[in-house]
Amino acid sequence: MRLSCKVVAILLFLGSLLLLYLLGGSADEATPKAAPGKSWLRAALSGPGGASAPSPFARVRPLGAAQVSKRLRQPRLHTKPGRRSAGRQDKFSSVRKHGEPKHSQSMPAEQWMHLAVVACGDRLEETLIMLKSAILFSYRKIRFHIFAEDSLKPEFDKKLRQWPPSYTKKFEHSIYPITFSVGNAQEWKKLFKPCAAQRLFLPVILKDVDSLLYVDTDVLFLRPIDDIWRLLKQFNSTQLAAMAPEHEIPKIGWYSRFARHPYYGMTGVNSGVMLMNLTRIRNTQFKNSLIPTGLAWEDMLYPLYQKYKNYITWGDQDLLNIIFYFNPECLYVFPCQWNYRPDHCMYGSNCKGAEQEGVSVLHGNRGVYHDDKQPTFKALYEVMRDFPFQDNLFQSMYYPLQLKFLETVHTLCGRIPQVFLKQIEKTMKRVYEKHVIVHVRSNRMYY
């Protein structure tokens, strides 16, 4: 009888040890997750908190004590975060959807992105909103190259220095005068819109810059600029610039109907968003209609203008079309979602890439940010203009856009709001996962 009691006691003791072992193992392997039934977007509104770095979600409200207790109800871990927990956190931070582009975390931190813009006349505010959209979502640092009239330089410098420190540390800026190295400066300045021809001279002026993204002042980035910068790696050995088609359908395109000069491809290209390998441009001899041999970029510009000046309508963009007509192997053509204009929706939706992936870069030409002809474009501009730095992206950008878009459903562009919202939503999800979820996971290591 005594022996039986001893055996039972030993079995109970061993069973208790096994139970403790299993409970400890499950606690160690538990994977933190969002509250059941909550999408990332709803979680962004309720705010899991824990973000230690300034971000567009920095003002998200933390969970209440009851919610925290519910979501973190598990045995405390008494081990310090070591190699195992760090590896698990790294693994989580690198998770991304299949097909999504890799981001700057995997690229050298010292590699700067270069963004150039030319601003004259009344384009100060428009330019600042464009720069704001670029820095808002970017991962790597950006160097802004701003070409402006003398009267605008002090205001540019003042406004950019007023941005919050968490954003000013992400960029450097240089402001240059409007200069043209060849030909008549006044003639170049009045070629199309004020100072627009300056973009033709960027390879000559920025001699120490290898690659550059040029955009018009009326451009807005709806996803990280890192993603379009990465297209430089897709250039083959002869390509030195990238632009999007002027139109997707030849029968309604401007060049295919009205141009009186050579132009690239079936519909021409639009120069409002132009990715350039400046080193290659400076080192290339371009075929042309002037002489049988090749000409360097700087030597070709003014003679080409003199030959075609009575036939061009869109100034420097027409000259670029002429250049790449004779040198098609030098151009990389990127899809329309990287230069989405009113033409892509005002005659009916004709940009398939935007329908599938959403608009990546919005180009509000035709002055649509400042009139009521295309209220969808104007809504995006105004929301970006009014967005407070370091505020909640959902509450202060995504939600106001949805409300404004409800007022534009009577227009052709307003009938497809998902085209304009898709990339913004993806970008918010990335920011949320990077600045909020990862910090919640790391904080749970200490419970």
Please spell the DSSP secondary structure of 14-65, one letter per residue: HHHHHHHHHHHHHHHH----PPTT--HHHHHHH------S--TTTTPPPPPH
What CATH number has the domain spanning 113-334?
Answer: 3.90.550.10
Decide which of 78 and 332 is more confident: 332
Q: Is the pLDDT of residue 357 over 90?
A: yes
Condensed to tens digits (0 to 9), the pLDDT of residues 80-132 reads: 334 333 443 343 333 333 333 444 344 444 589 999 999 999 999 999 999 99
Rounded average pLDDT over 399-417: 92
> What's the confidence (pLDDT) of residue 64?
42
- Mean pLDDT estimate for the chain: 80
Q: What does pTM read for this prediction?
A: 0.76
Question: 425: Cβ–Cβ under 8 A, 6 or more apart, which residues?
Answer: 41, 358, 398
Q: Three-class SS of residue 71?
A: helix
Confidence of residue 205 (pLDDT cuts 50, 70, 90): very high
The rounded distance, in Å, linking the Cα atoms of 328 and 19 is 72
Which helix or strand (DSSP H or E) is residue 426 part of?
A: helix 417-432
The residue among 349, 360, 367 whose CA lies nearest residue 414 is 349
pLDDT, one tens digit per residue, over 259-294 is 999 999 999 999 999 999 999 999 999 999 999 999
The answer to whether the beta carbons of residues 53 and 435 sit under 8 Å apart is yes
Query: Greatest CA separation found in the chain?
Result: 115
Q: How many residues does the chain have?
A: 447
pLDDT band at 34 (very low <50, low <70, confident <90, very high): very low
| Rounded CA separation 200/7 (Å) | 91
The whole-number pLDDT of residue 340 equals: 98
* CA dist list (Å): 274 to 98, 193, 197, 231, 242: 28, 17, 13, 11, 6
* Averaged pLDDT for residues 359-381: 96
Q: What is the pLDDT of residue 184?
A: 77
Per-residue model confidence (pLDDT) at position 46: 43
| Cα separation of the two ends of the chain | 46
Taking each helix axis from N to C end, the angle separating 316-326 and 297-308, rounded to the nearest 10 degrees, works out to: 110
Q: Quick check: 443 and 399 in contact, CB under 8 A?
A: no
In this predicted model, which residue has the larger pLDDT, 70 or 248? 248
Domain positions in the chain:
113-334, 371-445
Work out the average pLDDT over 288-303. 94
Cβ atoms of 117 and 130 closer than 8 Å: yes
How far is C-alpha 194 from the chain's CA centre? Answer: 26
**H or E segment at 116?**
strand 113-119
CA–CA separation, 354 vs 340, rounded Å?
Answer: 8
* pLDDT number for residue 392: 84
The predicted pLDDT at position 2 comes to: 54
* 443 has a pLDDT exceeding 80: no
Region of poorest pLDDT, from 87-91, 306-310, 407-411, 414-418: 87-91
C-alpha separations of 438 from 2, 57, 431 in Å: 56, 13, 10
